[in-house]
Amino acid sequence: MIPTILMAAPVSNDWITLDFVSLGQNFWSATFDGLTFGSIYALVALGYTLVYGVLNLINFAHSEVFIMGCYAVFFTLSFLGFGPSAPNLGVGAIILNLLLALIAAIVASALTAFLLERLAYRPLRKRNAPRLVFLITAIGASFTIQYLIFLWRGPVPEQALTMFQTKPVFQVFGTIIYSDQILIVTAAVIMMVVTERFISKSRTGRGIRAVAQDPDTATLMGVNKEKIIITTFVIGGILAGAAALFYVMKIPSGVVYNGGFILGIKAFAAAVLGGIGNVRGALLGGLLLGLIGNYGQILLGNSQWTDVVAFMVLVLVLLFRPEGILGTSLGRSKA
């Protein structure tokens, strides 16, 4: 996080000028782009939030759960014959192909999350390791997966694939809305609403909340804690897999061994901003982070401000609401 902020430091002499004219001109396109990326942040943020809610563990390896999904998307689509040019297929065929890629990504990410839990965290839990050990293990697991991918695929990103020709769909406030933006935001919001419903209404969801609130009592009440934990990891993985498809759709050259790192940090920041452990908070935090970064960079004149602005807002929010905007409440009745 720190190098990112340092690298974002401006280098020109005229270093703070507010460009309201430019913000006015670009306001709506910044909004729509911000929402698109915000949705992707939010989907990944949910993985951090759920695991944190249940285990009080910041799962730093979640960014690698995400990048495995990206690789699955890449391999599935290149297997299905997608290349650098937009495919010459009908809408139905493209949707079918993308669904296959989505399933592959979800399976790959959920599997990675599952194995991660089994191989890295469960042995520690069995030995009642202190919380700090979990954190270090998470960072270690993150690097391990990153460099395994590195050994396998090398340092350069995969061939960029075009999933479909993005088409202008309609105009709002003089700004063109593209098909991919609609697709990503709609799908992400639907997935988040479903997750939220699942956690607040279903039996398993109740189990997750019970374990988050008080693991020991939950166990006494007949909740299978281990099963709940693994379910939580898998749900996080599923959402990360979906995020992976959308991410590769927007950034085809993003499939590289360390490609999840920055996004992971942003998603984690989004989770904290909204209130870590809170499902709605992750959605709000993700969308806000996407929007604030975009507005900030246009207002201040260049993209080097994106992260500065986003993290400044994070710090400010945490100063006044240390628990995030919506508070940390996976275990409580709110979520």
Partner 1 sequence: MNRKKVMTTLATVATMGLLLSGCANQAAPEGGSSSAAGSSSAVDIPALTSIETPKNAVLPAGDGKAKCPATTTLAYIGAQTGANAQLGINIFQGIQLAINEHNAANPDCQVAFKKFDTEGDPNKATGPVTQATKEESIIGVVGLPFSGESKATGNIFEQVKMVHITPAATNPGLTENGWTTFFRGLGNDAVQGPAAAKFMTGKLGAKKVYLVQDDSEYGIGLGKTTSDALGDALIGTDKVTQGQKDFSATISKIMNSNADAVFYSGYYAEGAPFDQQLVAKGYTGTFVGPDGLKDDQFIKQAGDASKNAFFTCPCIPGELIPSFAKAYKSLTNMDPGTYSIEGYDATTVLLAGIDAGNQDRASLLDWVKNYDADGLSKHYKWNDKGELQAPTVYGYKVENGKIVPIGPIGE
Instruction: Count the alpha carbons within 13 Å of 60 in the hemisphere toward its beta carbon.
Output: 19
CB of 131 to partner 1, least distance (A): 26
Shorter beta-carbon distance to partner 1: residue 107 or 124: 107
Q: Which two tokens stand for residue 253?
A: 């050259």
**177 binds partner 1 per the rule CB under 8 A:** no
- Residue 172 pairs in a beta bridge with 175
Please name the residues in contact with 111: beta carbons below 8 A apart, sequence gap of 6 or more.
68, 237
Q: How far is the CB of 311 from partner 1 (least distance, A)?
A: 13
For residue 98, give the nearest of 193, 183, 194 by alpha carbon: 183
Compute the least distance from the CB of residue 62 to partner 1, in Å: 18
C-alpha dihedral sign at 91, 97, 100, 105: negative
Choices 157-165, 206-214, 275-283, 316-324 (CB under 8 A): range interacting with partner 1 = 157-165
Alpha helices in the chain (DSSP H): 2-7, 20-55, 62-79, 91-116, 122-126, 131-153, 179-201, 203-213, 215-220, 225-250, 260-274, 279-299, 306-320
Q: Which residue, among 36, 16, 24, 15, has the nearest Cα to 186 in the 3D structure?
A: 36
Q: In terms of Cα–Cα distance, which of 1, 160, 178 is closest to 70?
A: 160
Answer for the pair 70, 146: CB distance below 8 angstroms, yes or no: no
- Binds partner 1 (CB under 8 A): choice among 3, 90, 92, 222: 3
Q: What is the nearest approach in angstroms of partner 1 to the Cβ of residue 18?
A: 15
Span from 49-57, 151-159, 267-275, 279-287 in contact with partner 1 (CB under 8 A): 151-159
Query: Shortest approach of partner 1 to residue 262 CB, angstroms?
Result: 6
**Polymer length of the chain:** 335
Distances (CA, A) of 194 to 189, 199, 202, 273, 322: 9, 9, 11, 21, 28
**Least CB distance from residue 160 to partner 1, whole Å?**
4
The distance of closest approach from Cβ of residue 319 to partner 1 in the complex, given in angstroms and rounded to an integer, is 26
By the rule CB under 8 A, 143 interacts with partner 1: no
- Amino acid (one-letter) located at 97: N
Query: Is residue 8 part of the contact set for partner 1 (CB under 8 A)?
Result: yes
Decide: is 182 part of the binding site for partner 1 (CB under 8 A): no
> Contact letters (x/-) for partner 1, 291-310, by CB under 8 A?
---x--xx--xxxx-xx---
- Does residue number 263 form part of the binding site for partner 1 (CB under 8 A)? yes
Q: How far is the CB of 66 from partner 1 (least distance, A)?
A: 13
Q: Does 97 bind partner 1 (CB under 8 A)?
A: no
Q: Is 150 exposed, middle or buried (0-12, 13-18, 19+ CB in 10 A)?
A: middle
Which residue of 150, 177, 182, 187 would you call a contact of partner 1, by CB under 8 A?
A: 150
- Residue 178 touches partner 1, criterion: CB under 8 A: yes
Chain positions 17 to 76 lying near partner 1, rule: CB under 8 A, are 22, 25-26, 29-30, 33-34, 36-37, 71-72, 75
Residues that bind partner 1 (CB under 8 A): 3-4, 7-12, 22, 25-26, 29-30, 33-34, 36-37, 71-72, 75, 78-79, 82-86, 107-108, 111, 114-115, 118, 150, 152, 155-162, 166, 168, 176, 178, 250-254, 256, 259, 262-263, 294, 297-298, 301-304, 306-307
